[in-house]
Chain A
Amino acid sequence: MGEYRGRQGCGGGRRFPRGGRAFLAAALIGAAMLPSAAGGQDAPNPGLADTTTEERAQAAPATGEQPRDAPSSEVGRPPASGFWAGMSQTAVQLRDLGLKGDMTYKNFSFFKDTPNDPRNFGNEGIFHLQWDRELTEWASFSIKGEARQDDRRFTRGVRTRVPDNLLHRRMVDLMESYLKLTLPGDTQLTMGKLIYTWGKGEFYSPTDNMSPYDYLDVIDRLKEPVYSGELSKTFETSTGPVDLSVIFIPFFTPARDPLAQSRWTPATTFIPGVGDSVPGDVNAQRRVTPGREAKNMQYAVRARKTIGKVDVSVSYFYGFEYLPVVQKNPTGSTTTFVPVYRHMQAPGIDFETTVDKFVIKGEAAWKFGDRELKDSRFQGLIGVRYTRDDIWTQWLKKLTVDFEHNRQEFISSKNPQFIVSGSFLNGFRNSGSGGIEFEFNPDQTFNRETKFRVAGSVDWSQSANYWLQYQLTVKPVEDYTLETGFDVFAGEQTTFWGEWRNNDRFYFKMTRLF
């Protein structure tokens, strides 16, 4: 333990961004997004609005109808002024240049202190800018950049790295960015920093092994699944009735684990049945990532086809699991713990079909450890989603209920030298997860949905422990989304979710798209 604390100490206060400045930056992004009476209305493209009006005027004589409605961009839109007018104008100018993006402000308010992180409030500001361009009929590119700041100590520095094995997020980073070539014969070659999301699981997918996740805020990752792309090449083609994807990833990128001084990092992680308590911050402090060697290159292939009314895909992944396992090294009277990334070969299969209002889905992967860590696991899920969108009331637009049962089994015996610890998917691997969502639409015309969702997960592998989330999403006007809700964790301290029972919180998130 002393070793880890020593490394934490190296960080000192200087390494972290000053909270005040970070908060100011986050708040500025938030303030810039606030909808006003002027800027908050959805602005039709003036050019399009004009065209429409003109078209209508031309059409009127042909039908003998007067263009009495004559909607225009001015209708329902009070004149913008000052700062807000500037913001809207800037957004329009960016669109004209082929640029688009979004701004997000997040606030988290925790109800209890934790030993690792006593701060009860956190703010994040995120800015994305994307540029898409068609070069020719067969070539196009997309570049997406990110600027972010927070007072949660998640973000530090501007220098990025390939592969990105940094513990913190970067203040400026390149997100998914690629060159896409359309080749003869329904074939597409995509090269760059790409994100892959395979599988059918809502909360966790056994076949989703390529793009690493960001677990700095473990629960927040469920809504923003992937933090960054991976340098890779994808070759996708349709071969007769089958869609085939072949992916080559030259460098391994690990997931971002919770930081040592984080409220998501417990003091120790108790491993039931193993009898060891692993320092909670071990992943953040001593992990050993695979080097940039030819033998560490990763590959994946997937074939997809719809047979009758069933979508089926078969996949194979050869590479590293992006979450580490902890290697236990007894040295004399002391034991050291070293997180390592296990290499595996993972064939997988998934399916999805509909039966009336139900979507039924399943997914399975067999993960065979093939180097020093030879334990092998089966991971699978079966799930159902029920949707009603022809409901009996005018104000309730849609009802969705989903449930997934997840299961993990060891195929070969566990190697006692390795401990499957600190894995932020463990809570989902033997669990029941699901949610119920109500989508309201009081304004029948303009799709101003309001959603209320209760979601959660129960970990079956230990005594009752669970996470519940209550979330309200409101779209006051198009291009603006407000989210607010509560996360609740329950269970004994030694359980997966119970470890975070001091992390009950209220959150608020505001996003503006442009």
Chain B
Amino acid sequence: MHTHDRPCFTGKLVFFLAGLLYLGFAGSMAWAQTPTGLEIMKKQRDLQRAKDEEETQQMTLVNKNGETKQRKLARATITGSEDLSKILIRFKAPRDVENTGLLTWEAKDGNDDQWLYLPEMKKTMRIASSGKKNRFMGTDFAYEDLRPENLSLHTYNLAGSEAVDGQDCFVIDALPGNDKEADESGYSKRKLWIRKDISYTVKREFYDKKNQLEKVQTDRKLVNVKGSIWRADEIEMRDMQAGSKTLVVIETRAQDKGLKESLFTAAALERGGR
């Protein structure tokens, strides 16, 4: 019996150790497969960040009656210290806003600095930061939709996984992270679909203060512009409540050209408008 018991004990020990190993491995696998919402967002930020970026956009606005309007703008972004961006937008069309420039310096606390250049007046004036919830140039995008994601102002909860156009995505619920953000934002919640393979947000749902679905943004025609950086050549923002939509087509784009910070000043805003 003893001789019979010994192997049995050894087998149990091996089985126990193997079980521990399996549990440990499985646990670590499970952790690796289910990072937190914030970790997913940080990874996305790290992979998709460019030092500087320039693009020209053609916007088509379609109202609920099917009438269309065109907007055209050039946009340059530079990311500096503390991951804060400076964004310069120069309107190319329509004619009544042509050469109007908007410069934004992102601030950590959300109180961005903004300057507006008015070609008719030939003056640059500092403006009180636009209400985040306001629509940008009559489009379906709010100002807050166009800002880089500020991870310190939101909380991110992983809500699960879902496929979008056959691509496996994390689904993240993004909520205002403090009372100030909750008050200033036009949304009670945003739902983000982030592709697992390339860490790029391909779809966003925006919920209004009554928690009703307000808008849906879809990014299409993804292109790998450099290294881990992906961008969409076509973006659609559809207002589900108003029945309108805005289609953005990227006409030209460049990354990491070595843009200088001196191009993102009020004086440069004026010079470029001349």
Q: Which residues of A contact B (CB under 8 A)?
A: 42, 44-45, 48-49, 51-52, 55-56, 58-59, 62-64, 69, 71-73, 75-76, 100, 142, 178, 180, 186, 188, 190, 195-197, 200, 225-226, 236, 238, 243, 245, 304, 306, 309, 311, 352-354, 356-359, 361, 385-390, 397, 443-447, 475, 478-479, 481, 513-514
Contacts and interface: CB of A to CB of B under 8 A. Distances in A.
A101 B85 CA distance: 35
A478 B63 contact: no
A478 B128 contact: no
Interface string B60-101: 111111111110100000000000000000000111101000
B133 A390 contact: yes
Nearest to A101: B95
26 contacts: A44-B68, A48-B72, A56-B234, A59-B221, A62-B220, A63-B165, A71-B60, A71-B68, A73-B68, A76-B68, A236-B271, A238-B268, A243-B268, A304-B266, A306-B266, A311-B266, A356-B111, A359-B126, A386-B128, A387-B128, A390-B133, A443-B63, A446-B61, A446-B69, A479-B94, A513-B95
A400 to B, nearest CB: 9
Given A180-B274, A445-B63, A445-B138, A75 B165 contact: no
Interface string B40-75: 000000000000000000101111111111101000
B175 interface: no
A311 B132 CA distance: 23
A142 B99 CA distance: 13
Contacts of A243: 262, 265-268
Contacts of B182: none
B69 A59 contact: no
A72 B244 CA distance: 15
A479 B58 contact: no
B135 interface: yes
B195 interface: no
A71 B66 contact: yes
Interface string B137-180: 11010000000000000000000000001000000000000000
Contact of B68 (A59, A72, A188): A72
A229 B215 CA distance: 47
A481 B95 CA distance: 12
B24 interface: no
Nearest to A352: B126
B218 interface: yes
Nearest to A475: B96
B95 A514 contact: yes
A180 B272 CA distance: 11
Contacts of A190: 274
B223 to A, nearest CB: 12
Given A52-B58, A225-B121, A357-B128, A478 B234 contact: no
Contacts of A52: 58, 60, 247, 249
A197 B221 contact: no
B129 interface: yes
B260 A76 contact: no
A387 B58 CA distance: 29
Contacts of A69: 62, 66, 245
A190 B68 CA distance: 39
A353 B220 contact: no
A238 B247 contact: no
B70 A444 contact: no
Contacts of A238: 260, 262, 265, 267-268
B127 interface: yes
A48 B70 contact: yes
A51 B68 contact: no
Question: Counting chain A CB atoms within 10 Å of each CB, which of B65, B95, B140 scores highest?
Answer: B95
Contacts of A76: 65-68
Nearest to A360: B126
A352 B114 CA distance: 12
B125 A352 contact: yes
Given A75-B66, A446-B69, A354 B96 contact: no
A443 B63 CA distance: 10
B123 interface: yes
A26 to B, nearest CB: 21
A356 B128 contact: yes
A100 B95 contact: yes
Nearest to A196: B122
A62 B67 CA distance: 25
A358 B111 CA distance: 12
Contacts of A385: 128
B163 to A, nearest CB: 12
Contact of A387 (B63, B115, B127, B133): B127
Contacts of A397: 134
Contact of B131 (A51, A186, A390, A447): A390
B213 interface: no
3 cross-chain pairs, A with B, having the tightest CB-CB distances, nearest first: A390-B131, A447-B138, A76-B67
Given A62-B220, A186-B263, A306-B266, A447 B68 contact: no
A479 B66 contact: no
B242 interface: yes
